[in-house]
Structure 1
Amino acid sequence: MSPDQLLILLPAFFLLAALYTSVGHAGASGYLAAMALVAVMPDTMRPTALALNILVAAFTTWRFWQAGYFSWRGLWPFLLGSVPLAALGGSLRLTTGLYYVLAGCALALSAIVLVWRAWGGVAPERPGEAARIPLAPAMACGAVIGLLSGLTGTGGGIFLSPIVLLAGWAGPRHTGGISAPFILANSAVALAAGTATWAALPAELPWLIVAVLAGAVTGTWFGITRLSTRWLLAAMALVLSIAAAKLILTA
């Protein structure tokens, strides 16, 4: 990465991590968007997003668990379906054009989900409430999401959260408590499966780590103790939409 790229990415990653972790996500799709906008090479984008996702998702998981919104019973059916397919997706090498299309579609879906989260009505919830996750549908959803997360360099939370919320299986904060560890597991598996991509991790990664962890501290506090504001989510959705269009048109 050039100094100019890093200068833009550090504050962008802080803000993205803060926004994403407020709803239990780790930010991979946002990091991909920011890197796309400053023309980071595709070979660097995916492993960088996954590496940052692992760290942010680990912290976010701990914060939601601490607040009483983590549910192992709600998590493991999704993981059972997703982990093998995340490994497969992470091991596949895509052409640059195909990667741009898949990443662009993932970002566009993220934008739609964020708009829905900003304006969609959700019922109140309390810590300790049980998530109602049906086994077979969760495994099937996990398998599809795992493959997509491995291919696109996202942790899969952007696909998992709307399914859980729209199906009525859990409330928004309990969904965050499921999404964060789901993202952590899929990101770790996808990065480990794509060991050949480790060499593409940028030398500037420690600086990016500081930025996203600082954002995660801010975002998890905001998401757990305060409601996310719809206009912040809408602004992030706009950024993702622009990046998605850029990626798809570039392909």
Structure 2
Amino acid sequence: MGHWEIFLLFLIIAFVYSSVGFGGGSSYLAVLAMYALPYQEIRLTALICNVIVVVGGVYIYIKNKQVDWKKVLPITLVSVPMAYLGAILKISQETFFLILGITLIIAAILLWVKTDAKVNEETLQDSRTSLLGNSFLGGGIGFLSGLVGIGGGIFLSPLLNLMKWDTPRKIAATSSVFILANSLSGIVGQLSKLSVDMDYFRILSLSLAVLVGGQIGSRMSLKWNPLIIKRMTAILVLVAGINVLIKYL
């Protein structure tokens, strides 16, 4: 595999993202796009790496009883078919990178916005959204996730925090489940129109990198200051988004 530094970049990205409950798909896409790798391989690699990273996080969140399935399922179930529809939708390479760049910049802004970490039960009771609202939110983000090739947590988590949907830790857990479900759905969609021009050794190598980084990061998620990690991630995503737009506009 040429450009071995990508291996190190993926390891670092997986470490940072998994520590705040994300998969890292947006930044995987940005890195691969900067190296002008094959279009279809870029999206498939990002989704596979997403799954590898968040599986460990989902396991830990479930083990620590941080997943509220009654609130998670309405958001996630609708997002799965929408992610599949987004993945199979045919768009040109230029349109893809334009959407990707804009998506990353918006995500960076959402990540940078500081939300109140102190959320009490009364606040949660007042701010709970309806079943229809949760489903609509999950479906919209799911479609965008499948279209671009990300898990969607980078949008879902900041929005849920702004809505005071639940505690920050439970929102991170919800995002991990959401990312896992949408990434798997997106992979199925991508496989339905897979190109034979794939570097499977590169995909395998990068999968190994995010496995290592993701396992370390997910185990440190309860020890780090979430705001610092989110703002580090926001800077990374913003730079990546601007670079993609500059390169492909």
TM value normalised by structure 1: 0.88
What corresponds to 1:214 in structure 2?
212
Count of aligned residue pairs for this structure pair: 243
What corresponds to 1:9 in structure 2?
6
The question of whether the paired residues in 2 share the 8 Å contact of 1:43 and 1:197 is answered with yes
Q: Judging changes above 3 Å, is the alpha-carbon distance between structure 1 residues 239 and 40 closer, same or farther for their aligned structure 2 residues?
A: farther
Q: Deviations over 1:94-144 (max 9, x none)?
A: 10110001111221122223322xx44311689xx9995531110011111
SS in 2 for 1:194: helix
Identity %: 29
Report the more deviating stretch, 61-70 or 146-155.
61-70
CA distance in structure 2 between the partners assigned to 1:148 and 1:246 by the alignment:
20
What corresponds to 2:32 in structure 1?
35
- Determine whether 1:44 maps to 2:41: yes
Structure 1 gaps of 5+ residues are none
Equivalent AA in structure 2 for residue 228 of structure 1 = P
Q: Judging changes above 3 Å, is the alpha-carbon distance between structure 1 residues 241 and 160 closer, same or farther for their aligned structure 2 residues?
A: same
Equivalent AA in structure 2 for residue 71 of structure 1 = D
Equivalent AA in structure 1 for residue 2 of structure 2 = P
Q: Deviations over 1:187-215 (max 9, x none)?
A: 11111022223643642222212211111
What corresponds to 2:137 in structure 1?
141
Q: 2:117 aligns with which of 119, 122, 133?
A: 122
TM value normalised by structure 2: 0.89
Q: Judging changes above 3 Å, is the alpha-carbon distance between structure 1 residues 41 and 246 closer, same or farther for their aligned structure 2 residues?
A: farther
Q: 2:240 aligns with which of 222, 240, 243?
A: 243
Equivalent AA in structure 2 for residue 121 of structure 1 = D
CA distance in structure 1 between the partners assigned to 2:116 and 2:164 by the alignment:
12
RMSD of aligned residue pairs (Cα, Å): 2.3
Structure 2 gaps of 5+ residues are none
Alpha-carbon deviation of 1:30? 1.4
Equivalent AA in structure 2 for residue 115 of structure 1 = W
Report the more deviating stretch, 186-195 or 36-45.
36-45
CA distance in structure 2 between the partners assigned to 1:113 and 1:198 by the alignment:
34
The question of whether the paired residues in 2 share the 8 Å contact of 1:146 and 1:156 is answered with yes
